[in-house]
């Protein structure tokens, strides 16, 4: 979740405010006022955004657009005024805050006021179209199904026709978004260039305490570490799908059709675990069935997540969390069900927004979203510009790292498993396979979304090839192909929330790697020894203390400092991920002998 850093700054005009020779003290006073105004006035924007997401109407979209327009205009004014401190010798805090003011933005305002208003209107409209999207059949006169209903089909069905129908039905939502997105790219790039960036992608890549070019090289390096494991998993999964659907539908040496992987976007493959389970029936971990049979509701599932964090010695959630969060899908209105978490008033006003179902995937997502909330709780006393993660990936990785310690023993305590499965090689491989179908399968998808958008923002991909370039990249990087013919009338990127919502996605790629470094650091803090995959730190107060110390920094230090505080390391590295999955990788390589891997 991106923490906004925009607000209406009540500052005098530049001609009256800027002294001839600004001093370091002037800069400190300026940034203090920026912090105060940002914290006070961003509440208006975040409140409007919360209402827009939980009550989708034309009025709520318009109100959110107005709030965002004011914020974009003011941010541009603040950045212009901040330029007068270029060349002034500043203390480290002031210099860092001025830099964060510039780079911690998902979009920047064009100088042209009419273009700025158009940009904010488009952003609100695109997210609204996504949230209200439905499939009502080819002629629009059938029984309408929203994303939640269509996902149930894709997640659970094994009928190729039903899967294809649900997949194409949802992806049609992108057609409405496409013309808006084309215009958004023009306006967003205009805003980035007016504020000194080459394009919007360069702005996003500048938010990691390194140059955009260095950041791109770093993501390439990290992917090169993890790709061999992904390739092994892809080969094994394709063979499993061939057993189920036949080689006519899943041929050798070709990308896997996207609708067969148990996820609307083929981004995580956990739902097809029964089709590829290495040792059927050994140490079965069917948590979804237990949740359904025991009739777990949303509140009980979130309470379990809270219990995990309090077991580490962290605080309970505030009482307002339970009255202000949206935990189930309302029947009386449209909402954006995509899970998110926030501190809406930046004062420990913690909430999650999620249409929770009694499914294992949602239970894990709850732990992830609560990770955001506990991060926000830890840095709530920082100056406003520091009220975010050390970098975007940190926020995403925290909850995932903690969820890795949701072990069978923990699930037994929760009543979601009957017993801890016996520790043997078959049980281990089954457990690692299930985890890899979530975490390893996701890596090229998560990397690819922004690689595509970076090319769009840089003008290397034009509207004439939006769709074809999207699938060319996904096929090359992920080994996944569209299950039906696609033309440039389609806009499948728009069927993924983060594209119309303009949320950068590389954070999720890095987080899937970074979480294993966090996990290893927490395991070491808890005194665990032995193989990394066998570690659990639930209940460790020392692990909780180390975690809290890192979270409390917020963005006050460069992210390598925060990483070092927890792990002793200063570089994001795939080594911990590979260490964790080492048993599965050895097993996959044996299984794939003699198969035609690759695509």
Domain membership of residue 172 (yes or no) is: no
CA 7 to chain centre: 24
Q: Quote the tokens at residue 357.
A: 């179902």
* CA–CA dist 355, 148 (Å, integer): 9
Residue 28 pLDDT: 96
Whether 269 and 186 map to the same domain: the answer is no
Tell me the per-residue pLDDT of 503-555, one tens digit each, with 9 for 90 and over.
999 999 999 999 999 999 999 999 988 899 988 787 889 999 999 999 999 99
- Is 491 part of a structural domain of the chain? yes
pLDDT band at 70 (very low <50, low <70, confident <90, very high): confident
Whether residue 442 sits in one domain with residue 579:
yes
Number of alpha helices (DSSP H) and beta strands (DSSP E) in the chain:
25, 6
Q: Are residues 296 and 410 in the same domain?
A: yes
Q: What is the pTM of this model?
A: 0.86
The answer on 486 and 435 residing in a single domain is yes
User: Is the Cβ–Cβ distance between 27 and 85 less than 8 Å?
Assistant: yes
In this structure, the answer to whether residues 188 and 237 fall within a common structural domain is no
Residues 239 and 117 in one domain: no
**What are φ and ψ of residue 351, in 5° steps?**
-150, 155
- DSSP secondary structure code for residue 134 in this structure: E
Map residue 352 onto helix, strand or coil: strand
Residue 173 lies in a domain: no
Helix (H) or strand (E) holding 119: helix 113-131
* Domain tally, the chain: 2
How big is the chain, counted in residues?
A: 599
Token pair of 14, please? Answer: 């530049």
Whether 210 is covered by a domain: the verdict is no
Same-domain pairing of 23 and 68? yes
Domain co-membership, 104 together with 238: no
> Stretch 451-474: mean pLDDT, rounded?
98
**482 lies in some domain:** yes
Q: What is the DSSP letter of 416?
A: S
What amino acid positions are annotated as catalytic residues?
A: 338-339, 368-369, 372, 396, 498, 508
Indicate if the pLDDT at residue 485 is higher than 60. Answer: yes
Q: Are residues 374 and 520 in the same domain?
A: yes
Whether residue 325 lies inside any domain: the answer is no
pLDDT tens for 252-271 read: 999 999 999 999 999 999 99
CA–CA separation, 591 and 379 (whole Å): 47
In a domain, 476, yes or no: yes
| Angle 40-208-121 from CA coordinates, rounded to 5° | 50
Residues 267 and 386 in one domain: yes
- 160-164, 244-248, 407-411: least confidently modelled range: 407-411
Give pLDDT, residue 422. Answer: 65
Q: How far apart are CA 552 and CA 546, in angstroms?
A: 10
Q: 467, 473, 478, 481: which is closest to 172 by C-alpha?
A: 467
Domain match, 484 and 573 both:
yes
Pair 17, 43: CB distance under 8 Å: no
What is the distance in angstroms between the CA of the first residue and the CA of the last residue of the chain?
Answer: 33
| Residue 278 covered by a domain | yes
pLDDT for position 283: 67
Same domain membership, residue 401 and residue 296: yes
Domain enclosing residue 388, as ranges: 226-243+257-316+359-457+466-599
């Amino acid at each position: 979740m991106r923490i906004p850093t925009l607000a209406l700054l009540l500052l005098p005009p530049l001609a009256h405010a800027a002294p001839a020779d600004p001093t370091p003290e002037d800069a400190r006073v300026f940034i203090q006022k920026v912090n105060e105004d940002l914290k006070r006035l961003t509440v208006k924007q975040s409140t409007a955004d919360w209402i827009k997401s939980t009550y989708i109407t034309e009025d709520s979209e318009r109100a959110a657009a107005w709030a965002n327009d004011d914020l974009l205009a003011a941010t541009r004014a603040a950045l212009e005024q901040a330029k007068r401190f270029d060349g002034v010798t500043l203390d480290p805090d002031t210099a860092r805050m001025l830099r964060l003011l510039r780079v911690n933005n998902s979009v920047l305002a064009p100088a042209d006021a009419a273009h700025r208003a158009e940009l904010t209107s488009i952003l609100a409209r695109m997210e609204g179209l996504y949230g209200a999207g439905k499939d009502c059949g080819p002629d629009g006169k059938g029984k309408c199904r929203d994303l939640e209903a269509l996902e149930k089909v894709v997640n659970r069905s094994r009928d190729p026709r039903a899967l294809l129908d649900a997949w194409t039905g949802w992806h049609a939502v992108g057609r409405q978004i496409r013309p808006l997105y084309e215009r958004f790219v023009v306006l967003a790039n205009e805003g980035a260039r007016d504020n000194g960036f080459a394009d919007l992608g360069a702005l996003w890549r500048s938010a990691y305490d390194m140059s955009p070019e260095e950041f791109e090289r770093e993501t390439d390096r990290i992917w090169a570490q993890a790709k061999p494991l992904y390739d092994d998993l892809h080969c094994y999964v394709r063979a499993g799908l061939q057993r189920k659907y036949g080689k006519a539908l899943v041929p050798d040496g070709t990308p896997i059709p996207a609708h067969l992987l148990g996820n609307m976007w083929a981004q995580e493959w956990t739902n097809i675990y029964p089709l590829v389970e290495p040792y059927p029936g050994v140490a079965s971990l069917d948590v979804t069935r237990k949740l359904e049979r025991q009739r777990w509701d949303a509140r009980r599932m979130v309470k379990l997540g809270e219990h995990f964090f309090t077991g580490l010695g962290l605080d309970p959630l505030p009482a307002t969390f339970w009255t202000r969060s949206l935990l189930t899908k309302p029947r009386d209105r449209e909402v954006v069900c995509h899970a998110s978490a926030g501190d809406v008033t930046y004062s420990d006003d913690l909430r999650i927004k999620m249409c929770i179902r009694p499914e294992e995937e949602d239970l894990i997502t709850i732990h992830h979203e609560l990770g955001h909330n506990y991060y926000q709780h830890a840095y709530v006393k920082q100056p406003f510009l520091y009220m975010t993660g050390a970098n975007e990936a940190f926020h995403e990785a925290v909850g995932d790292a903690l969820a890795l310690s949701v072990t069978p023993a923990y699930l037994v305590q929760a009543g979601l498993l009957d017993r801890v499965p016996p520790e043997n090689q078959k049980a281990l491989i089954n457990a690692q396979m299930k985890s890899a179908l979530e975490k390893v399968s996701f890596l090229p998808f998560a990397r690819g979304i922004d690689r595509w958008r970076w090319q769009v923002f840089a003008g290397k991909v034009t509207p004439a090839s939006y769709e074809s370039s999207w699938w060319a990249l996904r096929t090359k990087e992920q080994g996944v192909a569209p299950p039906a013919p696609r033309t440039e009338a389609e806009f499948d990127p728009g069927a993924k929330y983060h594209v119309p919502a303009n949320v950068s996605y590389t954070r999720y790629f890095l987080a899937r790697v970074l979480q294993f470094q966090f996990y290893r650091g927490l395991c070491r803090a808890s005194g665990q020894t032995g193989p990394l995959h066998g570690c659990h730190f639930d209940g460790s107060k020392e692990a909780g203390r180390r975690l809290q110390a890192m979270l409390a920094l917020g963005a006050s230090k460069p992210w390598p400092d925060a990483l070092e505080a927890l792990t002793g390391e200063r570089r994001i590295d795939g080594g911990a991920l590979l260490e964790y999955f080492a048993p599965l990788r050895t097993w996959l390589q044996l299984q794939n002998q003699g198969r035609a891997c690759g695509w």
